[in-house]
């Protein structure tokens, strides 16, 4: 760079404009591909089968109706509203269990100095790479042995186990950043390890706990295989995913069933996503980049 040009403003300007053009040439098609399915989902939830199959992209102002959504909501076989409540209850249950179980364990491992603790952490982290499809067949065997197959406790325990690798990883790396002086001060005051964790350490873990809750909630909400196989159709307990599968599976070309059911299933998740967007994105980032 020459000294006669103290500011090189003139160069980046045309470059940036070129970049902006490239950016939109790439982005517009990508955004269309991302958003068109969402558009079809919303629009077609209000249309008749004929309107959907003849003009899937059209918005017939006179033909829009709420009755397909109402039918989907009031279907006697699969109550999506009930499925929401069931899934939400499962998400709460799994999150509570997961925190109760992995919080103290992560604290002990993070503060531990012996090799055994590192090995134990390693075992938890291996779980990140084990697909639940691999586990589910022998897990059925274990659950049958314990008499928990097809039961809610059995499902919750397995689903909680699936959250442990990520939670342990997040919690251990976070607790390691907290000063040990906190523990010592608490011990001086006569607190045992349990009290120290729940009273002193856990309140400081708020950000990472929120991250874990978000990841676990998405995990439980979108899980299909485990509720389908462990709870099974026999238990008559449907989550959102298994009830959508039950409702649509046999009517997959009756679009007045497909679109409204999918829309109802998606709306609460999208609302959650819009409210929590920044937390989800930052949670996912911390969840994966420190690996």
Partner 1 sequence: MLAPATVLIALFMLVPIVLAGYLSFTDWDGLTPNPKLVGWANYTHLFADADVRQAAVVTLVITVIGTLACNVAGLGLAMLLNRPSRLNHLLRAVVFYPYVVGPIIIGFLWSAILGADGAIASVLTAGHHSPWPFLSDPAWAVGSITAVVVWSQFGVNVVLYLAGLQTIPASLLEAARVDGANRWQTFRAVTWPVLAPSVTVNLVLVLVGLLRVYEIVLALTNGGPAGRTNTFAFLILSSSFKANKLGYGAAQAMTLMVVIGALALGLTALRQRADRAVSA
Query: Which residues ranging from 155 to 184 are in contact with partner 1 (CB under 8 A)?
Result: 157-158, 160-162, 164, 168
Q: Please list, in sequence order, all residues whose beta carbon lies within 8 angstroms of the beta carbon of residue 205, skipping any fewer than 6 positions away.
A: 103, 171, 174, 175
User: With respect to partner 1, which residue has the nearer C-beta, 10 or 252?
Assistant: 252
Q: Could you say which of 99, 105, 208, 213 contacts partner 1 (CB under 8 A)?
A: 105
Contact call for residue 135 and partner 1 (CB under 8 A): yes
Contact call for residue 201 and partner 1 (CB under 8 A): no
Q: How many angstroms separate the CA atoms of 22 and 142, rounded?
A: 55
To the nearest whole angstrom, how small is the minimum distance from the Cβ of residue 47 to partner 1? 11
Residue 237, Ramachandran bin (φ over 0: left; ψ between -120 and 50: alpha; else beta): beta
Q: Could you say which of 46, 68, 124, 238 contacts partner 1 (CB under 8 A)?
A: 124
Contact call for residue 288 and partner 1 (CB under 8 A): yes
- Residue 122: which H helix or E strand, with range? helix 115-126
Q: List C-alpha distances in Å: 266 to 108, 149, 271.
A: 39, 29, 9
Contact call for residue 102 and partner 1 (CB under 8 A): yes
To the nearest whole angstrom, how small is the minimum distance from the Cβ of residue 248 to partner 1? 5
Please, what sign has the CA dihedral across residues 77, 78, 81, 87? positive
User: With respect to partner 1, which residue has the nearer C-beta, 44 or 95?
Assistant: 44
Q: List C-alpha distances in Å: 92 to 97, 99, 118, 218, 265.
A: 9, 11, 30, 12, 18
Contact call for residue 194 and partner 1 (CB under 8 A): yes
Residue range at the interface with partner 1 (CB under 8 A); choices 64-72, 76-84, 123-131, 180-188: 123-131
To the nearest whole angstrom, how small is the minimum distance from the Cβ of residue 241 to partner 1? 5
Binding mask 11-40 for partner 1 (x = CB under 8 A): -x--x---x---x--xx--xx-xxx-xx-x
User: With respect to partner 1, which residue has the nearer C-beta, 54 or 92?
Assistant: 54
# of chain residues touching partner 1 (CB under 8 A): 92
- Residue 260: which H helix or E strand, with range? helix 255-289
CB atoms within 10 A of CB 28: 10
Is residue 167 within 8 A of residue 124, CB to CB? The reply is: no
Query: Which residues ranging from 69 to 98 are in contact with partner 1 (CB under 8 A)?
Result: none
Residue 217's nearest CA partner among 99, 79, 78 is: 99
Query: Which residues ranging from 259 to 278 are in contact with partner 1 (CB under 8 A)?
Result: 259, 262, 265-266, 269-270, 272-274, 277
Query: Which residues ranging from 215 to 254 are in contact with partner 1 (CB under 8 A)?
Result: 218, 221-225, 229, 241, 244-245, 248, 252-253
Contact call for residue 1 and partner 1 (CB under 8 A): yes
Helix axes 80-111, 115-126, angle to 10 degrees: 160
């Amino acid at each position: 760079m020459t000294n006669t040009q103290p500011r090189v403003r003139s160069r980046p300007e045309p470059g940036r404009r070129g970049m902006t053009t490239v950016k939109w040439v790439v982005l517009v098609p990508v955004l269309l591909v991302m958003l068109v399915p969402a558009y079809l989902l919303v629009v077609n939830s209000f249309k008749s089968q004929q309107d959907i199959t003849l003009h899937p992209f059209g918005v017939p102002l006179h033909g829009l109706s709420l009755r397909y959504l109402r039918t989907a909501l009031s279907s006697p076989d699969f109550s999506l509203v009930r499925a929401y409540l069931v899934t939400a209850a499962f998400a709460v249950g799994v999150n509570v269990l997961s925190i109760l179980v992995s919080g103290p364990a992560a604290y002990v491992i993070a503060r531990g100095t012996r090799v055994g603790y590192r090995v134990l952490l390693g075992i938890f982290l291996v779980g990140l790479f084990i697909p639940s499809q691999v586990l589910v067949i022998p897990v059925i065997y274990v659950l049958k042995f314990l008499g928990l197959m097809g039961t809610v406790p059995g499902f919750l325990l397995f689903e909680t186990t699936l959250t442990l690798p990520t939670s342990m990883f997040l919690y251990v790396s976070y607790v390691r950043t907290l000063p040990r002086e906190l523990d010592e001060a608490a011990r001086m005051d006569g607190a045992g390890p349990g009290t120290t964790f729940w009273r002193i350490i856990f309140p400081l873990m708020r950000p990472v706990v929120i991250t874990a809750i978000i990841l676990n909630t998405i995990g439980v909400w979108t899980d299909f295989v485990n509720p389908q196989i462990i709870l099974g159709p026999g238990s008559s307990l449907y989550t959102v995913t298994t009830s959508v599968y039950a409702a649509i599976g046999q009517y997959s070309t009756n679009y007045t069933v497909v679109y409204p059911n999918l829309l109802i299933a998606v709306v609460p998740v999208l609302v959650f996503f819009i409210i929590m967007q920044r937390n989800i994105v930052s949670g996912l980032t911390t969840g994966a980049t420190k690996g």
